[in-house]
Amino acid sequence: MALESINPATGETIETYDEMTAEEVKEVITQVHDAWQAWHRTGFDERAERLRKAASLLRERVDRYARLMAEEMGKPLDQGRSEIEKCAWVCEYYADHGESFLAAESVETDASKSYVSFEPLGVVLAVMPWNFPFWQLFRFLAPALMAGNAGVLKHASNVQGCALAVEDVICEAGFPENLFRVLVISSDAVEQVIANPKIAAVTLTGSTGAGKAVAETAGKYLKKTVLELGGSDPYLILADADLEAATTICVESRLINSGQSCIAAKRFIVVDEVRRRFEALFVSKMRRQKMGAPLEEEEIDLGPQARADLRDDLHEQVTKSIENGARLLCGGEIPEGEGAFYPPTVLTDVGPGMPAYDEETFGPVAAII
């Protein structure tokens, strides 16, 4: 089986990657575990030095990696550059503070000396999403490596190029060979990885469904687990709000990363007293946002959705919400032409029983309640 990276702005295939066999996956995990045996004995100074080098490499390659994200999942270039800078920052943050965070803590007991010691776990499996393909990795990887752990990654299938770029950064920063490796596998193979006795823990960022599956498997094999799942965050607009300022912030929050952020505001709950004026301002500003292909236009507010199937699922949520009584104020139509584009969309009169109320809309769709 092959995994494909497809440019969502054009539909063209960028690269095809052969999926690893079960034996190849097992061998990679063994290599990472072997590398960890020496790494967890290193001092904090050595670990911090490697992280600072990784930060330097990221800044040197900021334009290259921003372009890679634009190609693989449609991120506007300026947002891609910001993401890489944030990755460099998190490397330096844990290089600066990791040792103090992990310092032993004294505990008062009836013993002559008692303390809590924070020890490395071992090899951590990360199952990560496509929406922030560098940041999601480094926010796990920087603290994990500083704590003396090793890592293997199952990234989203459409951003394998980003995954392998991070593997290169870690290698070139001077970390031991094989301390962090990418597993080119589909979701079906994740259970076998978690079951491997050399995997100590698993962290996932993704959908609720994916989180349930990983948690169930991790529980079966008694592996430590951290999950960060989706959400449909509410933004409350009260009668005394500065509506000019509020609507500007609402637009930015809803459209960040082309609307594909788990922590973006998605449901806008507005008191009746100011609802009509809020709607007018919000819709006017949403309509002014510029959509385009990231590699063709620098000054855009949102690019395409990451994949055509995701765009189609989003449109179905909008359509079903309208069928169930929501009113469309702007957007809501798939543009003609190539690419997985979807315009800034506002629905109002949204209520229970509608996808825009009951489900997360992972794209540039705002629900006014």
CA gap 177, 187 in Å, rounded:
26
Residue 333 backbone phi and psi in degrees, to 5: -130, 140
- Could you give the residue numbers annotated as active site? 228, 262
Burial string for 291-305 (b: 16+ CB within 10 Å, else e) reads: bbbbeeeeebbbbbb
Contacts of 82 by beta carbon, 8 Å cutoff, 6+ apart: none
CB atoms near residue 161 (< 10 Å) = 19
HEC assignment per residue over the chain: CEEEEECCCCCCEEEEEECCCHHHHHHHHHHHHHHHHHHCCCCHHHHHHHHHHHHHHHHHCHHHHHHHHHHHHCCCHHHHHHHHHHHHHHHHHHHHHHHHHCCCEECCCCCCCCEECCCCCCEEEEEECCCCCCHHHHHHHHHHHHCCCEEEEEECHHHHHHHHHHHHHHHHCCCCCCCEEECCCCHHHHHHHHHCCCEEEEEEECCHHHHHHHHHHHHHCCCEEEEECCCCEEEEECCCCCHHHHHHHHHHHHHHHHHCCCCCEEEEEECHHHHHHHHHHHHHHHHCCCECCCCCCCCCCECCCCCHHHHHHHHHHHHHHHHCCCEEEECCCCCCCCCCCCCCEEEECCCCCCHHHHCCCCCCEEEEC
Q: How far is CA 96 from the centre of its chain?
A: 24
